[in-house]
Every structure is written in C-alpha cells, then in structure tokens.
Amino acid sequence: MTTGRLMKVRLTYYTGTVFRLYPQILPIWIDAYWRKCSHRAVRTNRTTLAALAVLLTATAATFAANPLMGTWKLNEGKSKFAPGATKNTTVTYTPAKGDMIKCTVEGVDKDGKPIHWTWVGKFDGKPYQIKGSPSFDTLTYKPVNDRTNKTTATKAGKVVMTGTITVAKDGKSRVVTLTGTDANGQKFTDMTYYDKQP
C-alpha cells in the first residue's frame, strides 16, 4: 500500500471514530482543516507571485538601464557615408523573449530601394543571426562600458564589418563608426549620427 493510500485509510478510520464519539465536533474539525489547507495554498501562491514580480521588475530595470533601447532616427546631415553605402534610416531596439534584445532596421540601399532586417540576441560578445540582410549573416554586440558597444558583422563565416556604437551622456544621440569591406571587395568607412526618438 502506498503512503498516500495508507494516510487516507488512517484519516478515514480516525474521522469515523471521532464522528461516532463526537458527532457535533467532526464538521467543525473538517472545516478548520480545509481552511488551514486553503491558507497554505494562498501563501504559496503569494510567494510565487512575489518572486515573479521581482524577476519581471529586475528584467525591466535591466532593459531600461541600457541606453540603446528605443528608436533611433538617422541624422543624415551630420553623417558621412562611403559612396554607394546602405543607409539605416531607423534603428529600433526592443525587449524580446528570454532576456533577448530585438534590433529592427529600416533603410535604403545604394539604389534607394527600401531594406528591412532584424536581429535578436544579447549584448554578450556572441554572434546572433540576422534575418533579411543581404550583406550580413550574423551580428555581435560586445559592451565596452555603459554607453559603448563594439559590433562585428560576418558573411559566410568571414568578418566583413566592425564598428563602435556610442551613446551620448544625455542619452539623446549616438554615433556609429563602421569600417569594413563591401560586396565588391572595397574598403569603406561610415560615420553616422542618430537622434533618439520620444
């Protein structure tokens, strides 16, 4: 006989005996017993919810503390592009599942045609896949300090671009310096400025 079944038999025997001797007490005892179980379940649920709330608050605080989070619009007047360079006109960083960050990029290629690509990963120095970009397969963000990240892009396993992203102290702008090799094997250097959107 299992432990659970044995306890049930003992409880049944005990309650039957008590009911024969004290029929007026048994309902009160059972009611008190179930109230105790109910309170224990409520305490457990409250503990679980409190732990979840702490976790969500910590995650939100982590994202809020990252100055790159939000939407950035290209300040084309201040930026300097290599001839025929692709222009990322809007870059948005948002929280994603599993403590990840999603980067969504809108822009135009050298012919003025619209481009759109996304990246989901962490700022941990490891490469994560890019979807929708004809120029890159993976992108890596490696924090240097609270406001600066080094970035590396690869194509077919080969590094084709490296860069530095630095957010201003007031958090209202950022500068992106990129160097690499284009599809024609030509070296390029871009320095782009972005303004944080409300």
Per-residue model confidence as pLDDT tens digits over 96-150: 999 999 999 999 998 999 999 999 999 999 999 999 999 999 999 999 999 999 9
pLDDT at 25: 46
- Do 92 and 70 touch, CB atoms closer than 8 A? yes
Q: How many CB atoms lie within 10 A of CB 192?
A: 24
| CA–CA distance, 172 with 108 (Å, rounded to integer) | 24
Mean pLDDT in order along the chain per 10 residues (198 residues)? 43 43 47 57 55 44 73 97 94 96 96 96 98 95 97 96 98 97 88 97
Instruction: Give the helix ranges, DSSP H, for the chain.
Output: 3-21, 26-65
Rounded to the nearest angstrom, the gap between the alpha carbon of residue 101 and the centroid of all alpha carbons in its chain is 4
8 Å CB contact between 91 and 194: yes
171 — phi, psi (to 5°)? 75, 10
Residue with tokens 């939000």: 70
User: For residue 185, what pLDDT is reported?
Assistant: 85
107 close to 84: Cβ distance less than 8 angstroms: no
Tokens standing for 46? 């409250």
Residue of 155, 175, 140 lying closest to 67 (CA atoms): 175
With H, G, I as helix, E, B as strand and everything else as coil, classify residue 14.
helix
Q: What pLDDT score was predicted for residue 3?
A: 44
Q: What is the three-class DSSP state of 84?
A: coil
